[in-house]
Amino acid sequence: MFRRKLTALDYHNPSGFDCKDETEFRNFIVWLEDQKIRHYKIEDRGNLRNIPSSGWPKSFEQYLQDVNCPFTVEERQESVDWLLGLAVRLEYGDNVEKYKNCPPATATETEKPSDPLIHLDSSNPDFKAGVLGLASLLKIQRHDDYLVMLKAIRILIQERLTPEAIAKASQSKEGLPVALDKHILGFDTGDATLNEAAQILRLLHIEDLRDLQTRINEAIVAVQAVIADPKTDHRLGKVGR
């Protein structure tokens, strides 16, 4: 998961790095500080360089605090990724002229974009007409952003209109027998038959409320999936050199 950043930093083994290997991990942290980050003065790196020491984890914990890393020693993968991001930024800052004219990397067959919608031209009239037609057909609320509408359409199709979803919805549900005498009605109509009918209606009402709550939860999840587009990057924390 760190291969691209390690390659950018000229690490000697970008494909085989294993942060779970304690010795390799400690050597990597020392290399990263010595060669790329250089937050400490050379004379202050002794504790970090003392790899066999039992106190090394404490030194590493202090190091994370000193570089303002938002992760702890227990969050090893996250802290490694953050430190790599910091190192890449510092490397770029030291060699702006070298990197500013580099052509952007093109996606290969093995590195396809995670979301194919990002390449659609949302200003195209035919695209807009198609999205509006689908939204109207599926009874989806209109939105000013046509890509947002398309994402909502995709979610609805994936969750409701796939063969598996249709087959699941078509399955008949057999109810379980209920002993009415075990359920307290809470009031008395004065007629045993009416009391029994009221108990049945109450149970059906409770079932409807449960179904409504399930649908509300599904709607919340669907809305969050459409509007949530987190781009938080902990690596952007400000660090002095």
Q: Contact 76/86 with Cβ under 8 angstroms?
A: no
The alpha-helical segments, DSSP class H, found in the chain are 3-8, 22-32, 46-49, 56-66, 76-94, 96-99, 125-138, 146-156, 163-170, 192-227
Same domain as 85, residue 12: yes
Same domain as 133, residue 96: no
109: in domain: no
pLDDT band at 109 (very low <50, low <70, confident <90, very high): very low
187: in domain: yes
225: in domain: yes
Query: Any long-range contacts for 36-42 (C-beta under 8 Å, 24+ apart)?
Result: 36/9, 36/87, 36/90, 36/91, 37/67, 37/83, 37/86, 37/87, 37/90, 38/90, 38/241, 39/63, 39/66, 39/67, 39/239, 39/241, 40/66
108: in domain: no
* Closest by CA position to 105, among listed 36, 229, 7: 7
| C-alpha gyration radius of the chain | 29
pLDDT of res. 149: 84
Q: Is 237 left (phi over 0), alpha (psi -120 to 50) or beta?
A: beta
- For residues 34 and 46, give the distance between their C-alpha atoms in angstroms, rounded to a whole number: 11
238: in domain: no
Same domain as 97, residue 1: yes
Same domain as 191, residue 139: no
97: in domain: yes
pLDDT of res. 204: 84
How many independent structural domains does the chain possess? 3
Cα distances (Å, whole numbers) of residue 58 to 153, 239, 241: 51, 21, 22
Give the domain range for residue 17: 1-101
Q: Token digits for 106?
A: 């093109």
194: in domain: yes
- Say yes or no to pLDDT of 231 above 60: no
Same domain as 92, residue 60: yes
Helix, strand, or coil here: 60?
helix
- Out of 155, 172, 189, a domain closes at 172
> pLDDT of 10-68, one tens digit each?
888 888 888 889 999 999 999 999 999 999 999 999 999 999 999 999 999 999 999 99
> pLDDT of 157-193, one tens digit each?
888 777 777 777 666 556 667 676 777 777 777 888 8
31: in domain: yes
Same domain as 226, residue 206: yes
- Out of 172, 188, 210, a domain closes at 172
Same domain as 38, residue 1: yes
Same domain as 212, residue 189: yes
Same domain as 71, residue 3: yes
Same domain as 139, residue 48: no
Same domain as 45, residue 90: yes
Same domain as 156, residue 131: yes
- For residues 235 and 185, give the distance between their C-alpha atoms in angstroms, rounded to a whole number: 60
- Out of 55, 86, 101, a domain closes at 101
Residue, of 195 and 63, whose pLDDT is higher: 63
